[in-house]
Amino acid sequence: MSLKKIGIWGNTEKKIFWDIFPKILSWADKNELQPHITKRISCKVSSNFQIINSKNDFNKVDFMLALGGDGTFLSLARIIENNEIPILGVHLGDLGFLAKVTLKDLFYRLDQVVAGDYFVEDRALIKTKIKKGDKHIKYVSLNDFVFANGESFRMLNTSVHVDGHFVGNYKADGLIVATPTGSTAYSLSAGGPIVTPKVDSMIITPTSAHTLTSRPLVVPGNSTITVGFTGQADSIRFVADGQLHEILSPKTRVKIVKSNYTVPLINFADTDYFKTLRVKMGWGKRGNQREN
């Protein structure tokens, strides 16, 4: 497919974004690509651009460039919803799990995209619909949903069912339901397993469990996970992808399933998921051993 239009989404709070932005525009012009930018970017530039004003405007571009970090990528992935627009994540710092491209190889990778030398990797999301008063609020996450006690330093008691079958009561600081993509995020910090993105699954991980028998659990991706709450909590904190927050009643029951659409990530034949683990985490290395 011949690419004609590029969408630009970025963390405008970072100075490095504004340093690289003109260079991307110059590259786009050289490759006869029409840039479409978000309203947040347009507020700080004087030139005339096509503006992404709504979710429907994503359909006007051939691919999105997400400039920032993994958090920037996560926010775009949720907002873009099921528009099926491929995303190339560019990390404005070190290598990220989602924003895989670094500044030093940015234009090399962009040239590959224009040349069609890439593939699209679909990543699963999870979704839920939470009842608050008379409203049902929908949430979708690429990484995870997190539950914690609304009161600081109080233990959270959760009751978990999978496909209607009782799994158990978790007594912990909180509970995480993660995708394979999110298995290397908060879930991993809480002792959860790393699950490669191609494994169709969801991960249930307690945070700082108060019993030694509470362990992370991997369930099939087509499962329905139901989380309820017991004990003396006055309120429950619910967080989607570390960015969206809600306060829930302890009487709330939250059903979580895999979303019916995926997020398409632009990837390259010479990238390696396990190398990213080694570089980011020192995976499988000891002492001062360095990645070649």
Known catalytic residues are: 70
Contact 63, 3 (CB under 8 A): yes
Coil/strand/helix, residue 234: coil
Q: String of b and e for 77-89 (b: at least 16 CB within 10 Å)? A: bbebeebebbbbb
Phi, psi (rounded to 5 degrees) for 5:
-135, 135
Instruction: State the CB neighbour count (10 A cutoff) for residue 245.
Output: 10
Q: String of b and e for 109-133 (b: at least 16 CB within 10 Å)? A: bbebbbeeebeebebbbbbbebeee
Residues 6+ apart with CB under 8 A from 212: none
Greatest CA separation found in the chain?
62
* Cα–Cα nearest to 252, from 158, 154, 172: 158
Residues 6+ apart with CB under 8 A from 172: 155, 156, 158, 206, 207, 208, 209, 210, 214
190: amino acid identity, one letter? A
Measured in whole angstroms, how far is the alpha carbon of residue 145 from the centre of its chain?
Answer: 11
User: Which own/partner contact pairs does 51-58 have at CB distance under 8 Å and 24+ positions apart?
Assistant: 52/7, 52/9, 55/79, 55/80, 55/81, 55/83, 58/7, 58/83, 58/85
Measured in whole angstroms, how far is the alpha carbon of residue 237 from the centre of its chain?
Answer: 19
